[in-house]
Chain A
Amino acid sequence: MRLRARLALTVLAAAAPLLAGVAWLRGDLERRDADRALREFALVRMESGGRDRCEADPAFFAITASPLPRAPDVGGRPVVELGGGSSDLPAPLPPVPPEGGAPADVATGAATGPVTQLWAYADDLTSMNPRAPAPPDELVATLRSGGDAAGAAYVAAGGSGRQVLVRTPWRGGPCAFVFVRRIDPAPGEFASFPIWSAVALVAAMVGVVAFAAGSVVRRIRKLTADVGRSADQRYASPVDERGADEISDLARAFNAAGHEIRGHLDDMARREETLRTFLANTTHDVMTPLAVLQGHLSAMRKQAAEGRPADAETATAAVEEAHYLGSLVHNLSAVAKLDAGPRQVHLAPMRVDEVVQRVVERHWPLASPRAIEIECAVPEEPVWFDADVTLFEQAVSNVVGNAVRYNRAGGHVAVLLEEPSATEFSIRVIDDGPGVSDEALAKLGSREYRTDEARRRNPEGSGLGLDIARRVASFHRVKLSFRKSEYGGLEVEFRGVRSPAPRISAA
Chain B
Amino acid sequence: MANVTHRILLVEDDASLGRQIVKSMEEAGFEPTWLTDGDAAMRESPRAFALIVLDLMLPGAYGLDILKHIRAAGNSVPVLILSARNETRDKVRALELGADDFVTKPFFPEELIARIRARIRRPSLEAGGLVRAGGLEVDLAARSVKVDGETVELTRVEFDLLAALARRPGAAVARSWLADNVLDPDREGTERTLDVHVSRLRRKLGASGKCVATVWGVGYRLAEASE
Q: Which A residues are within 8 Å of any B CB, using their own CB?
A: 319, 322-323, 325-326, 330, 333, 345-346, 348, 354, 357-358, 361-362, 364-365, 368, 373, 375-380, 388-391, 412-414, 416-418, 430, 432, 485, 487, 506-507
Contacts and interface: CB of A to CB of B under 8 A. Distances in A.
Interface in B39-90: 86-89
B172 A365 contact: no
B88 A506 contact: no
Contact of A389 (B91, B110, B172, B215): B91
Contacts, number: 91
A379 B167 CA distance: 12
B167 A375 contact: no
B215 A365 contact: no
Nearest to B177: A379
Contacts of B106: 322, 325-326
B172 A376 contact: yes
B110 A368 contact: yes
B88 A365 contact: no
B188 to A, nearest CB: 19
Contact of A354 (B101, B108, B217): B101
A414 B91 contact: no
Interface in B156-203: 167-168, 171-174, 176-177
Nearest to A363: B111
B92 interface: yes
Contacts of A357: 118
Contacts of B100: 507
B95 A365 contact: no
Contacts of A364: 108, 110-111, 114
B96 interface: yes
Per CB-CB distance, the 6 closest pairs between chain A and chain B, nearest first, are A414-B217, A365-B108, A377-B174, A506-B95, A346-B88, A412-B216
Classify the secondary structure of B's interface with A. Answer: mixed
Contacts of B115: 358, 361
B152 interface: no
B129 interface: no
A323 B108 contact: yes
Contacts of A348: 88, 92
Contacts of B101: 354, 358
B32 to A, nearest CB: 19
Contact of A377 (B91, B107, B114, B218): B218
Contacts of A319: 108
25 contacts: A323-B108, A325-B106, A345-B88, A346-B89, A346-B92, A362-B111, A364-B114, A365-B108, A365-B110, A365-B111, A368-B110, A375-B172, A375-B216, A376-B172, A377-B174, A377-B215, A379-B177, A380-B167, A389-B91, A390-B86, A391-B88, A418-B177, A485-B217, A506-B92, A506-B96
B219 interface: yes
A375 B217 contact: yes
A377 B213 CA distance: 14
Nearest to A507: B95
Nearest to A323: B108
Nearest to A393: B104
Contacts of A330: 86, 104
A416 B218 contact: yes
Most buried by B among A325, A330, A365: A365
A368 B174 CA distance: 22
Nearest to A364: B110
A377 B177 contact: yes
Nearest to A344: B88
Contacts of B107: 326, 362
Given A361-B114, A391-B88, A376 B108 contact: no
A485 B100 CA distance: 34
A389 B168 contact: no
Given A364-B111, A390-B87, A375 B177 contact: no
B108 A390 contact: no
A373 B216 contact: yes
A418 B176 contact: yes
A38 B40 CA distance: 101
Nearest to A322: B106
Contacts of B96: 506
A379 B176 CA distance: 10
Contact of A416 (B168, B171, B176): B176
A417 to B, nearest CB: 8
A390 B91 contact: yes
A365 B106 CA distance: 12
A378 B171 CA distance: 9
Contacts of B86: 330, 333, 390
Contacts of B87: 390
A430 B173 CA distance: 15
Given A319-B108, A418-B174, A412 B217 contact: yes
Contact of B88 (A388, A432, A485, A487): A388
Nearest to B178: A377
Contacts of A368: 110
A375 B218 contact: yes
Nearest to A486: B217
Contacts of A413: 217
Contacts of B217: 375, 412-414, 416, 430, 432, 485, 487
B111 A377 contact: no
